[in-house]
Amino acid sequence: MIEFGFLRKEQQDICMNTVYSYFAPYWGRYGAKGFTKVPDHIKNVRLILVRKNKFLGGLYDLQLSAAWQVDLDEKWIIKLQSRRSGCYFYTKSYSPVAREIIRQLNLHEKLLETLNQIDLSDINISMRDRSLQFNLTPMGGGMCFLVIPPVRYQVPMPKNQIGKLAESIEQIGKLITNMSCTMPGFLARQEHLSISD
């Protein structure tokens, strides 16, 4: 579900069509069933706008999300920490599954190098209600608005980062899907959950 609030229908369509066009060279056209040419391990990727209210205005951040049903009833979150020397994933949880995901993510040098080159607002992987959820929020791609005066404008996404975003999402999706091989029963079944907000 996309919460647009102060955006009119035509503004919604313009914003989302622009967002879909960013990823069309990598994943094909976007339609009722999602993108037409995404790899199997990320067939469940969704692009949504998340509203954040500010004083006399706000933002609609672009969020790329995916979810997998799992056979574990745990609750934890994995986040990305960025430093000058590079980035790494961490969690406060003692869950063996969360620790194994972090271990594999932090061993993936190409992924960490790619993420280090992207301007990110947030990235996290969380487990809750037997669902493994992946969320990535880049800087750009959303919309800003002011109530007084009524101004709305789309925040452009740097073109040199779109390919890196698509690549990092594919790498994380592949790692999560491959965990069903190294940890039998991790993914409940190979069908993906839909994202609802």
In the chain, domain spans: 9-192
Would you say 137 and 115 are in contact if contact means Cβ atoms under 8 Å apart? no
Strands (E), 73-173: 76-83, 86-90, 120-128, 131-138, 143-146, 151-154
The span from the CA of 21 to the CA of 26, in Å, is 10
**Confidence at 196, pLDDT banded by 50, 70, 90:** very low
Share of the chain above pLDDT 70, in %: 87
If you average pLDDT over every residue of the chain, what do you get?
83
**Given this model, what pLDDT does residue 101 score?**
92
pLDDT 10s digits, 41-71: 887 888 888 877 777 777 888 999 988 888 8
Q: Assign residue 129 a region (left: φ > 0; alpha: ψ between -120 and 50; beta: otherwise).
A: left
Confidence of residue 103 (pLDDT cuts 50, 70, 90): very high
Whether residue 191 is predicted with pLDDT greater than 50 in this model: the reply is no
| 190 pLDDT above the threshold of 90 | no
Closest CA to 136 of 110, 155, 159, 161: 161
* Residue 2 pLDDT > 50: no
Mean of pLDDT values over 180-189: 66
The strand ranges marked E within 43-85 are 46-54, 57-70, 76-83
